[in-house]
Structure 1
Amino acid sequence: MSYDEIPWPIIWQAARETLVMLGASLALSVPIGLVIGVLVFLTSPGQFWQQIWVNRLLSLIVNVTRSVPFVIMMIYVMPITRWLVGTSIGMKGAIPPLVIAAAPFFARMTEIALREVDRGVIEAAEAMGTPRLLIIWRVLLREARTGLIAGVTVTAVNLVSYTAMSGVIGGGGLGDLAIRYGYQRFRSDVMLVTVVLLVILVQLLQSFGDRLVQRLSRNP
């Protein structure tokens, strides 16, 4: 294995593509998933927007979407991807399926974080006559912020693996590089470098998320 022959410029370009896909899909997945997760929580039994059928429908959509393997998801939503961004391959073509896969996951993480909020805090805010939208913003989301940050971290880590799998359909990034240059050309050195870079990226994301959660926990 000769590291002098490794195509470093191509690897760094693929790494940049992975970061772009990760950043764009995370920026879209988090707000979409947050809204869905809040709605799932607030429409559940005992909450102040209780709507059983709406809750069941949203939960069904979240569960079904989360249960579909990402590789199958990418192929299945190709027509939607082409309609949205004009292509189903490359870095642009990978972002819509990444968002479709990650948003329901974060929605469930949001619901879990909100369920951990002390019910007494919500009841106290209601007793003071606080409008419900303010309760959502200033009480629920504020009290659940450490759980939400942890959820963002886990979602980001999952998205790294999803971006790697997007290489199956030529989605660009390190996954695509590992398949085209590593697997198809029998370049084990290229595959090793891409794996190491992905592991480093995951470790950085997890460490940053853990430190942010610890800081927020110390400063309520």
Structure 2
Amino acid sequence: MQKGGSACVIKLKYSPLPYICMKKETWLLLLIIIATVSLFSFSRLFNESSPIDAKKFFMEDLESSYPHADVREIISIETAGDGRGTYYVLKARVSSNLSTPCPERVEVEYYYPTKNFLKSDEQVVHGCNVCLDNPNCHISYPEEAIIASHTYEGTDEVTAFLRAYPQATPSPSLLKKYDGQRDAWQVDWKAKDGPTMRVILSSFGTSALSVEMLE
């Protein structure tokens, strides 16, 4: 056994490795270092966000910010940045008044978490107007299809129908094909205890393709 001022090394008879004994102060310092490293590792693990965390916080904020919306849904989530600077970019659709002739749509974008949960929103459908003075307009959203179904050229019958049945509610759907055209919108206006008015609109252009009453 070799003795020093602060530690001793004992060579075990049947072991190729030495056993090191140290003063209590040295052991205490070593334990503090190990605890600090472990705490840092667990802290990093705890603070690393996941897409599930991001979606959870996102939906909670949407519910708080838009309590009266008909639809609140995440439409995309992407990863941005790299390394410890990685964060998520989330986009959501918030739709209101979907059962009326004039629905509205807001698109919300969040940056989580390193961007301090920054939020921006944009009104993409509002004012009950679609494609005004724009012959090359494209109907991208169901909210736009609802508005176009009673404001486009050739929809006078729909306007009269809505006057006769003010409680009628719309049901928009995107058709992959219609009469040789791609991406046409179908909007069914259903009157309570009454008939249904069906409107077919091209995604491009500003006039109805078909308007018919369904009994």
TM-score class normalised by the smaller sequence: under 0.3
Q: Which has the higher strand share?
A: 2
Could you say which structure has the greater relative contact order, defined with CA pairs below 8 angstroms and 6 or more residues apart? 1
Q: Which has the higher helix share?
A: 1
**What is the TM-score when the length of structure 2 is the normalising length?**
0.21
Larger radius of gyration: 2
**What is the TM-score when the length of structure 1 is the normalising length?**
0.21
